[in-house]
Amino acid sequence: MTNEAKVGLLVIGALAISVTTFLIVANVHFTGRTHTYRTYFSYIGGLDAGNLVRFGGRKGGTIQSVEPWAEDMTKTEVVFELLTEIPINEQSVATIASLNALGQNYLEVAPGSISAPRIEPGGVVPSVEALTFTDLTRKVATVADDAVELMARSDARITTVLDDLHVLLGNLRELTGERNQRNVARMLENTNEFLETQTPKIDGLTTQLGHTLTRVEELAADFERLALDADDTVLNINRTVDETRAPLQSSLNELERALRDAQLLLQDARTLLLVNEGNISEVIENFRATSENIEALSSDLRQRPWSILRGKPRPDREVPPVSGVPTN
């Protein structure tokens, strides 16, 4: 056998060993029991049967079949298997991913939450559509168009700002001219003169303001003391009211009872007057007659006081006759 043949056999043997080792390493995790699951995509991204399935980035199974879905031909049904110890739950999400820009796409299943309910074998795992290169290019083009429009608007605004700066520079140039400088110098001189003449008045006003502030502080202190005194007064009034509330209440109760008794007495007097109205009228009439008799007796006594001593009055004396006057 020639040397070339020996080298060729050695190369073929090395390749066979490498392939065998790769297959053993690739399938070392999938020799146990597995469960089958399904998911659906509108864009399959080059997935084929036999591609790897990763769970949280680690190898977990393989794709069994990639076929159009009978219920909706716009989507593709992907059937894959995972090891039984992998916790597929209702929060797990399947998507198409790649480890690098040039690597082959594979099916990635997000772990979800350990507390979420498990998906039964043969169940459907929710999916999220992968972003394709075309979609990415379209988004980049949209961003580029927006950037161009933004730059155009920025150019317009920058032009406006530059025009405003030119106007501002012209105003500053005019402001710093010789005429304005003379005006500013004159204004400064007037200001200095005003300060020299008004400084004593300003000092006086400042002193008066200081005195006023001192008085205000004293007045505030007086108000504070007055507020404290008012608080004490209110406390004393409250204490006095609390102390006199019970006696006042008792006096009011007694007054109420007295008024009630007086009301009853007036009712009894009214009833007595109504019952004895005739007798009272008779008594009043007797009093009137007695008063008349007493008035007549008084008149007689004034005219004939001797009637008290004599039972019968004497007859009147005859007038003695006068000489020369005939008698009747």
Mean pLDDT, the chain, integer: 80
Residues 63 and 50: beta-carbon distance below 8 Å: yes
Place of tokens 């405003």: 164
Own/partner pairs, 302-308, CB within 8 angstroms, 24+ separation: none
Residue 246's alpha-carbon distances to 242, 249, 250, in angstroms, are 8, 5, 6
Single out the residue of 178, 156, 175 nearest to residue 167, CA to CA: 175
pLDDT digits (tens, 9 = 90+) for 294-322: 887 787 777 776 666 655 555 656 656 66
Place of tokens 């109205």: 277
Residue 165 in domain: no
Residue range(s) defining the domain that contains residue 110: 24-130
Per-residue confidence (pLDDT) for residue 30, from 0 to 100: 47
Residue 177 in domain: no
Q: Is 39 helix (H, G, I), strand (E, B) or coil?
A: strand
pLDDT digits (tens, 9 = 90+) for 176-232: 777 777 777 788 888 888 878 888 888 888 888 888 888 888 888 888 888 888 888
In the chain, the percentage of residues whose pLDDT exceeds 70 is 83
pLDDT-based confidence at 61, cuts 50/70/90? Answer: very high
Domain count, the chain: 1
Residue 116 in domain: yes
DSSP letter string over 205-216? HHHHHHHHHHHH
What contacts 95, CB < 8 A, 6 or more positions away? Answer: 107, 108, 110, 127, 128, 129, 130
Read off the pTM: 0.36
Residues 30 and 62: beta-carbon distance below 8 Å: yes
Residue 212 in domain: no
The 3-state secondary structure of 109-137, one letter per residue: ECCCCCCCCECCCCCECCECCCCCHHHHH
pLDDT digits (tens, 9 = 90+) for 121-145: 999 999 988 776 666 677 777 777 7
Residue 119 in domain: yes
C-alpha–C-alpha distance, residues 300 and 170, integer Å: 137
Per-residue confidence (pLDDT) for residue 93, from 0 to 100: 93
Residues 82 and 34: beta-carbon distance below 8 Å: yes
Place of tokens 């083009």: 141
Q: Is 99 helix (H, G, I), strand (E, B) or coil?
A: coil
Residue 289 in domain: no
Residue 45 in domain: yes
Per-residue confidence (pLDDT) for residue 269, from 0 to 100: 80
Place of tokens 């730059």: 151
pLDDT digits (tens, 9 = 90+) for 90-127: 999 999 988 776 778 899 999 988 889 999 999 999 99
Residue 316 in domain: no
C-alpha–C-alpha distance, residues 91 and 119, integer Å: 9
